Amino acid sequence: MARAALRATAIGGLLFLAACQTGSNLAGDGAGASATGVAYLETIRSEHGLPPLRPDTTLERAALQQAGYMARSGKMEHTTGWGKDFAARMNDNGVEGAAAENVAHGGMEPAKLFSMWMNSAGHRRNMLDPRFSKFGLAYVREGKGSDKRYWALVLGR
């Protein structure tokens, strides 16, 4: 119970900080979506003889941070407007060791999202990397009431 409250407070704080950032777009609602991604990633990895990935709150927080940045800036990318590349963002979030990130933008639901990533060599490689044991998935809507989302999937050890 205390852990859930702490997590909600941390995510709320991140969303508050994200709302304070200036950008060309007003971001809509966002959420961690790791629970949604479990079944998709388990199927993808088991079809390739790999163990499932477990959801991780630290990686989900990093994914939500990047999805929020992309929604505010209106750009799908792995860097931020304040000079943080992927490695720096992972370090800032306490992510140690090997990590990778998939990002996407559009009106797709999770089934289409994971299918799209599996049909892209680099994204597929990330999801099938045997070094990874955990993940975080999050999205932020393009704007209030929009059906388009900025997605981020962060994978790690």
Domains of the chain: 2-156 (3.40.33.10)
Global pTM?
0.79
Specify the pLDDT at position 82. 66
Specify the pLDDT at position 28. 65
CB neighbour burial string for 113-148, b if at least 16 within 10 angstroms, e if fewer: bbeebeeeeebeebbbbeebebbbbbbbbbeeeeee
Residue 24 or residue 119, greater confidence: 119
DSSP code for 144: T
Q: How confident is the model at residue 27 (pLDDT cuts 50, 70, 90)?
A: low
What whole-number percentage of the chain has pLDDT above 70?
A: 80
32, β-bridge pairs: 138
Specify the pLDDT at position 118. 98
